[in-house]
């Protein structure tokens, strides 16, 4: 399975790919405010590229549980200068983490070449046609509810089965918008409308998503279920995060979304070698 567009190709038969998280926000759950300034955000993006990130995922609105929305203009003002600067310095695909078509438009104009949509094209009807027109890949994530209410009382009869059907419908929604199926990546949305146990079950049973026949992105980095299991604050979840990354890769993830790129590179390389049964 491959993802090909413009000048980029991700060959998932060869290895697992790493997406580095760059939150240009004052209130992200993991690194809120740390990279909020333009200079620090660009510096961190360059650091992640140097550490081995395959994709840089730039977001200007926190989607942590119970977070509040920001205006389109504020989101544009946060992300566009950073994307423009990084696009001049790195030869990597840059992803815009947004569900707003207007933000995506300006980000793509600035040099982004992937749209990462937590709403799976549900919140803004203009986003699907924009992605189709620009010919870029889209990442469609499962979320129950919205960030401001998704963790109030998430319930499922079969969490993996229900997420699979949601993502199947999301792929259909994308293709109906004119996006080629070959440009669609799916994400089960760890931590988005799930209990701690739901997240653990998803990771354990990740192979069940293979029926979707689409590349699978998994984002567990520093999330609260890791803190719950290990009884660790967010700044002490690196080892727990890498355990979840290893499990995700072993169970079929094609891409992982992480804050600590350097540690993830070693983790993923080791698991990929085990999967191949070869050190080469």
Bridge partners, residue 138, by sequence: 115, 184
Helix axes 159-176, 127-134, angle to 10 degrees: 60
Q: How far apart are CA 184 and CA 191, in angstroms?
A: 21
Q: What is the DSSP letter of 240?
A: H
- Is the pTM higher than 0.85? The answer reads yes
pLDDT computed for residue 148 by the predictor: 72
Per-residue pLDDT of the chain (280 residues; tens, 9 = 90+): 999 999 999 999 999 999 999 999 875 544 555 556 899 999 999 999 999 999 999 999 977 666 577 899 999 999 999 999 999 999 999 999 999 999 999 999 999 999 999 999 999 999 999 999 999 999 999 998 777 777 778 899 999 999 999 999 999 999 999 999 999 999 999 999 999 999 999 999 999 999 999 999 999 999 999 999 999 999 999 999 999 999 999 999 999 999 999 999 999 999 999 999 998 7
Active site residues: 223, 257
Tokens of 228: 């719950």
What is the structure's pLDDT at 35?
55
Q: Check residue 246 and give its pLDDT.
A: 98
Please report the pLDDT score of residue 147 as a whole number: 76
Q: Residue 29's pLDDT is what?
A: 47
CATH of domain 16-276: 3.20.20.20
**Which SS3 state, helix, strand or coil, does residue 166 take?**
helix
């Amino acid at each position: 399975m491959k993802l090909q567009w413009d000048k980029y190709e991700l060959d998932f038969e060869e290895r697992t790919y790493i997406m580095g998280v760059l939150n240009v926000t004052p209130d992200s759950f993991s690194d809120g405010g740390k990279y909020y300034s333009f200079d620090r955000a660009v510096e961190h993006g360059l650091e992640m590229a140097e550490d081995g990130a395959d994709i840089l995922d730039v977001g200007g609105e926190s989607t942590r549980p119970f977070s509040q929305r920001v205006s389109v203009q504020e989101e544009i003002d946060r992300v566009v200068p950073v994307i423009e600067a990084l696009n001049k310095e790195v030869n990597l695909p840059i992803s815009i983490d947004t569900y707003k078509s207007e933000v995506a438009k300006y980000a793509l104009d600035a040099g982004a070449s992937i749209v990462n949509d937590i709403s799976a094209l549900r919140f803004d009807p203009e986003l699907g046609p924009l992605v189709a027109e620009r010919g870029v890949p889209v990442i469609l994530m499962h979320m129950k509810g919205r960030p401001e209410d998704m963790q109030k009382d998430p319930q499922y009869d079969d969490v993996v089965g229900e997420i699979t059907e949601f993502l199947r419908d999301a792929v259909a929604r994308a293709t109906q918008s004119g996006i080629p199926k070959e440009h669609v990546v799916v994400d089960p949305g760890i931590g988005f409308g799930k209990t701690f146990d739901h997240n653990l079950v998803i990771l354990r049973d990740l192979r069940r998503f293979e029926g979707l026949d689409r590349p699978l992105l998994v984002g567990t980095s520093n999330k609260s279920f890791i803190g719950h299991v290990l009884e660790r604050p967010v700044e002490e979840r690196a080892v727990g995060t890498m355990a979840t990354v290893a499990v995700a890769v072993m169970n079929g993830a094609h891409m992982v979304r992480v804050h600590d790129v350097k540690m993830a590179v070693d983790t993923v390389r080791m698991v990929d070698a085990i999967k191949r049964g070869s050190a080469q």
